[in-house]
C-alpha cells in the first residue's frame, strides 16, 4: 500500500495512529492525581514532539544513510524560521505560504553550504558545517539585525503590511497565524471522568506534515537513491573506484535534509510567530544529533522516538523539584526522606541533563542501535518465551 512493503505499511499506520491519538496517549493520568505532572498532552509540548520529529527525520536521512555527521543543521532550522516569520509579516497570516517558503529558503541555504562542505568528509566535513552554522548565528545575532531582529528576535507586529490579507490588524490585536481562518492556537478541551484531553489545531497541522515527512523518508530509504546512499556509508572509496561519482548523491541528500530542517523551522514559526538567533546555535545542532543517536540512527522510527524522549525530559522531567520529591517520599521517616531527596535531587529538575547524559552513555555502550534496538531485544525476548513451551510440547510428540 502507498508503494510500501507490508512491514513498512504497518509501521506507517502505527506512526499515524500515535500522532492521531497523542492527546489521549500523552495524558494517561487524571488531572487531579499526584501523577498528573507526568502528563504531556498540552498543545505546546505535543507540537514540539512532532516538529522536532521532522527535524530529526531529516537529519537521519543524511547521517543515518550516508554517515556524514553535520553539526550545523540548526542553521537551516533558523533560516526556515526567519523566512516563515517574514512571510507572516509581509504576505499573509495564512501559514501555508510561510511553511512552503521556509522549506525552499532552507533548501537553497543547504545547497550553498553543502556545495562547499561536501568537498571534505569525516571530521573535516563536521567542522565545516559547524563553522557555517556559527557564522550564521553570529550574522543573525548582530550583523543582520535589521533583518533578523538581533538578540531580541523577529516577530509579527500590529502594523505589518500582510498584502494578501488586505488588513493590517484584526480588532486592534496582532492576528495569530491561521490556516484559512482556523487559528493555530485554537483548541478543543474535552473533560471526561477526571481526565482532560486537548485537541489543538496547530498540533494536528504539524502532525500531518510529520506523517508526510515520515512517509517520504520511508520511500527514500527503500529507493535506489537510498541504496546508493547506504553504499556511500559502507565504503565510499570503493564506490568511487567503480567510476560512480558519489558527490551529487551526498549533495542531494544534504539539501533534502536541510529542507526537512527548514520545514520544522517554518512550523515552529507558524505555531508561535517568533524567530531568534538561538535556534542557530551549535547546541541546537547537537540536540538533533542526540535525538537521532538515542532513537537509533539509520532506522525509520528511531529519530521520532529520540525527539519525543528528549523533549519529554526537557519539559516534564525537568519540572521535578525538591518539593515534589518530598511529596513522593513523605511516607518515610524524616531522616530517610531527606537522605533520599538529597541523593535524587541532582538528577532531576535543573539537573535533568545529568540524567539524560547518563542514559545517553548507557544507550551508546549497551544499545548501539538506540531505543529501536532496545525495543527489538524486548520483542525477541517475548518471542523466545512463547516459542519455548511449544518446542517442549513438540519434543514430547512421537515422530510418525
Alpha-carbon distances, residue 254 vs 233, 311, 361 (angstroms): 14, 25, 28
Q: Answer for the pair 271, 85: CB distance below 8 angstroms, yes or no.
A: no
Q: What is the pLDDT of residues 156-172, one digit of tens each?
A: 888 888 898 865 455 56
Give the count of alpha carbons within 13 A of 369, CB side only: 9
d(CA 252, CA 145): 31
d(CA 309, CA 371): 10
* CA nearest neighbour of 39 among 31, 50, 47: 31
Q: Answer for the pair 39, 23: CB distance below 8 angstroms, yes or no.
A: no
C-alpha gyration radius of the chain: 24
d(CA 287, CA 48): 13
* pLDDT for 400 beyond 50: no
Q: Across the strands, what pairs with 187?
A: 200
Q: What is the pLDDT of residues 319-377, one digit of tens each?
A: 888 888 888 888 888 889 888 988 888 888 888 888 888 888 888 888 888 889 888 88
Q: What is the pLDDT of residues 2-30, one digit of tens each?
A: 788 889 999 999 999 999 999 999 998 88
Q: How confident is the model at residue 399 (pLDDT cuts 50, 70, 90)?
A: very low
> Who contacts 290 (Cβ-Cβ below 8 Å, separation ≥6)?
306, 310, 356, 360
How do 274-275 and 195-200 pair as beta strands?
unpaired
Q: Mean pLDDT lowest for which of 69-78, 79-88, 229-238?
A: 229-238
Amino acid at each position: 500500500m502507498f508503494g510500501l512493503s507490508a512491514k513498512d505499511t504497518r509501521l506507517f499506520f502505527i506512526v499515524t495512529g500515535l500522532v492521531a491519538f497523542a492527546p489521549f496517549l500523552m495524558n494517561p493520568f487524571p488531572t487531579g492525581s499526584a501523577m498528573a505532572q507526568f502528563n504531556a498532552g498540552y498543545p505546546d509540548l505535543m507540537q514540539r514532539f512532532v516538529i522536532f520529529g521532522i527535524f530529526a527525520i531529516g537529519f537521519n536521512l543524511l547521517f543515518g544513510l550516508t554517515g556524514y555527521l553535520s553539526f550545523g543543521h540548526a542553521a537551516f532550522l533558523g533560516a526556515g524560521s526567519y523566512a516563515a516569520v517574514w512571510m507572516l509579516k509581509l504576505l499573509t497570516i495564512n501559514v501555508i505560504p510561510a511553511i512552503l517558503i521556509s522549506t525552499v529558503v532552507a533548501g537553497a541555504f543547504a545547497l550553498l553550504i553543502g556545495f562547499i562542505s561536501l568537498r571534505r568528509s569525516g571530521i573535516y566535513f563536521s567542522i565545516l558545517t559547524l563553522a557555517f552554522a556559527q557564522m550564521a548565528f553570529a550574522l543573525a545575532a548582530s550583523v543582520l539585525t535589521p533583518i533578523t531582529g538581533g538578540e531580541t528576535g523577529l516577530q509579527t507586529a500590529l502594523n505589518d503590511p500582510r498584502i494578501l490579507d488586505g488588513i493590517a490588524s484584526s480588532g486592534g490585536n496582532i492576528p495569530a497565524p491561521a490556516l484559512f481562518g482556523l487559528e493555530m492556537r485554537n483548541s478543543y478541551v474535552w473533560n471526561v471522568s477526571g481526565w482532560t484531553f486537548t485537541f489543538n489545531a496547530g498540533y494536528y497541522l504539524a502532525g500531518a506534515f510529520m506523517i508526510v515527512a515520515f512517509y517520504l523518508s520511508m520511500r527514500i530509504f527503500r529507493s535506489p537513491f537510498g541504496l546508493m546512499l547506504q553504499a556511500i556509508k559502507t565504503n565510499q572509496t570503493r564506490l568511487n573506484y567503480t567510476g560512480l561519482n558519489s558527490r551529487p548523491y551526498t549533495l542531494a541528500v544534504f539539501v533534502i535534509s536541510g529542507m526537512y530542517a527548514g520545514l520544522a523551522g517554518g512550523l515552529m514559526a507558524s505555531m508561535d510567530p517568533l524567530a531568534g538567533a538561538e535556534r542557530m546555535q551549535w547546541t541546537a545542532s547537537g540536540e538533533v544529533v542526540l535525538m537521532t543517536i538515542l532513537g537509533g540512527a539509520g532506522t525509520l522510527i528511531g529519530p521520532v522516538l529520540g525527539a519525543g524522549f528528549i523533549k519529554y525530559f526537557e519539559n516534564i522531567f525537568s519540572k521535578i523539584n525538591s518539593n515534589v520529591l518530598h511529596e513522593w517520599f513523605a511516607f518515610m521517616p524524616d531522616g530517610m526522606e531527606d537522605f533520599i531527596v538529597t541523593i535524587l535531587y541532582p538528577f532531576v529538575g535543573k539537573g535533568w541533563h545529568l540524567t539524560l547524559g547518563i542514559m545517553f552513555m548507557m544507550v551508546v555502550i549497551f544499545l548501539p542501535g538506540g531505543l529501536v534496538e532496545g525495543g527489538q531485544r524486548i520483542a525477541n525476548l517475548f518471542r523466545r518465551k512463547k516459542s519455548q513451551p511449544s518446542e517442549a510440547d513438540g519434543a514430547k510428540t512421537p515422530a510418525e
